[in-house]
Amino acid sequence: MSLFVLEQHASLASSPMSSDGATVAEEEYLQSLFWLKEAGLAMSAANVARAMQLSAPTVHEMVGRLERDGYIERAQDKTITFTVVGMEHAERVVSRHRLIERFLTDVLKVPWDEVHEQAESLEHGMSPALEERIRAAVGDAKNCPHGHPIELGAREPGVPLADVAIGADVRVLRFENEAEDLLHYLMDAGLYPGLSGTLAAHDDDEVTLETSDGRRCAVTPSVAETVAVVADPSPPPRTALPEQLVLGKQRYGR
């Protein structure tokens, strides 16, 4: 998923083509829509605008284009759904994005907080033959470095770190928001997918996870909203999902 500013969208008409027939801009939108769907958030133009940090008119124009090109349909209430073709295309790009991130960290040794935007720039023009080579190079890796499944649909259910009770055992599953400044913050805090520990403290300023070797990893409560974990005891799953996507990068500055 892409939570970042797309300056190149200023001129949609001149957007270059991907190797799959859609424009690069269309593929970015399809990815954002897929990410919303995967996270259980409403597929709406408003959420896309927030996720991509674009204005409502810009998103409105592109959503119309995606509909004309047969990738999405819009209901009377403006709810967006993928067409079969749109779903396939979105899945292909999202999976390739995660695969490239894994390749960058595992094979090229790029730190995981730097690979998201690199993958964004590499994922569109790639030939199927090169993608196959990259797939072979990462072996049987299941997730991107931020914990999102490369094989779509294999997403392990999680709860927000912010909901976990003090004293619970915690395993970090994934970072739901891949905005790069947020990834830098999470790396600095010492968190990473797969990390286990105990929820040591939770107050208005910080949520603190303590690892078995005594290391304390603290993030703000708003960032803890974007960290998906498995916990024992587990808080109940959230029954009401936020109607509007809230950007982590706007929320963690204190």
What single-letter DSSP state applies at residue 218? E
Q: Are 161 and 227 in contact (CB under 8 A)?
A: yes
Tokens of 93: 């790009």
In whole angstroms, the minimum distance from the beta carbon of 122 to Zn ion comes to: 11
116 scored as a contact of Zn ion (CB under 5 A) = yes
**Which one, 116 or 124, has the nearer CB to Zn ion?**
116
User: Which region among 68-76, 165-173, 175-183, 217-225 touches Zn ion (by CB under 5 A)?
Assistant: 175-183
Binding mask 82-101 for Zn ion (x = CB under 5 A): -------------------x
SS3 call for 61? helix
User: Which region among 78-86, 126-134, 142-150, 187-195 touches Zn ion (by CB under 5 A)?
Assistant: 142-150
The secondary structure of the chain in percent helix, strand, coil, rounded to multiples of 5, reads 40, 15, 45
In whole angstroms, the minimum distance from the beta carbon of 190 to Zn ion comes to: 18
Q: How far apart are CA 164 and CA 170, in angstroms?
A: 8
**Which one, 149 or 221, has the nearer CB to Zn ion?**
149
DSSP codes joined into one string, 142-181: -B-TTS-BSSTT-PPP-EEGGGPPTT-EEEEEEES---HH
146 scored as a contact of Zn ion (CB under 5 A) = yes
Q: Are 217 and 185 in contact (CB under 8 A)?
A: no
**Which one, 123 or 206, has the nearer CB to Zn ion?**
123
225 scored as a contact of Zn ion (CB under 5 A) = no
SS3 call for 207? strand
Q: Name which position in 27, 123, 178, 206 contacts Zn ion (CB under 5 A).
A: 178
Which residue lies nearest Zn ion, judged by its C-beta? 144
Task: Pick out residues in 38-57 that bind Zn ion (CB under 5 A).
Answer: none
Q: Interface residues with Zn ion (CB under 5 A)? A: 101, 116, 144, 146, 178
